Amino acid sequence: MKDKIKELEALSATLEPSPELRDAGGLFGAAVGQPLVAALGAVGAAVVLVAAGLLALYALSGVAALQTAATGLDYNAPIWHTDPVIAQLPTLIPPRTLVHGQDVGYLSYILGAAAPVRMFGGDSVFEQYTCADITYPPGYDYAAFTLMYSALLRTHPPEQVEALLRAWAAPCGSVEQIVMSDFALLMVVRLNR
């Protein structure tokens, strides 16, 4: 047993880093820290390393991805924060509603994590499919459909848009409400069950 201990002591002595490597703080310090100190001085190197560490922590924490999903690049435009339909969405959608929309990240952000949101293709869906082509899982009394920055809203008068949507939704149930602005639209359909 004493022989094994002596062997381990001898082995650990050979694994000791050189004084230069130890002074540099290990391999990372020797590879990154010493050149930074040489180029920027101790204070400059410390600032760069702290900033790099904070940036890495931010990226790895998922906060950046969450914020992008919630606000996205186009969602920073003022209309997304001032449109009356978008502002009222959380209060307009009844409980037990499956929400459909093209802007899933934004809808999830403003409606909250508990609201079920399903990807929905926008204007073209109303032309390519009927309401009856969509599967509505059990447990939902309503289906809500949203359109944001829609060509349909920009190129047709509101009465025509409402008539088109009511006819589209008729096979699935009764339209409870349609709320629209120049920018956004919400249609809530009580599903036939």
Q: Are residues 102 and 164 in the same domain?
A: yes
Indicate if the alpha-carbon torsion angle 65, 70, 75, 77 is positive or negative: negative
Per the structure, the count of domains in the chain is 2
- Tell me, yes or no, whether 123 lies in a domain: yes
- Determine what percent of the chain is predicted with pLDDT higher than 70: 77
- The range of the structural domain enclosing residue 136 comes to 74-191
- Tell me, yes or no, whether 143 lies in a domain: yes
Question: What integer pLDDT is reported at residue 69 of this predicted model?
Answer: 54
- Tell me, yes or no, whether 68 lies in a domain: no
Q: How does pLDDT run across 3-30, given as a tens digit for each residue? A: 766 665 665 555 566 666 555 566 666 6
The neighbouring-strand residues paired with 175 are 189
Cα separation of 108 and 128, whole Å? 25
Neighbours of 147 (CB within 10 A): 26
Q: Are residues 101 and 170 in the same domain?
A: yes
Q: How does pLDDT run across 55-100, given as a tens digit for each residue? A: 777 766 666 555 555 555 577 788 888 999 999 999 999 999 999 9
Question: What integer pLDDT is reported at residue 166 of this predicted model?
Answer: 95
Q: Are residues 104 and 166 in the same domain?
A: yes
Q: Are residues 94 and 185 in the same domain?
A: yes
Q: How does pLDDT run across 172-191, given as a tens digit for each residue? A: 999 999 999 999 999 999 99
pTM, to two decimals: 0.61
Q: How does pLDDT run across 106-144, given as a tens digit for each residue? A: 899 889 888 899 998 888 888 888 899 999 999 999 999
* Paired sense of beta strands 184-191 and 173-180, if any: antiparallel
Q: Are residues 48 and 87 in the same domain?
A: no
The set of long-range contacts for 98-101, using a CB threshold of 8 Å and a minimum separation of 24, is 98/136, 98/137, 98/140, 98/142, 98/143, 98/144, 99/144, 99/146, 100/134, 100/143, 100/144, 100/145, 100/146, 101/145, 101/146, 101/147, 101/148
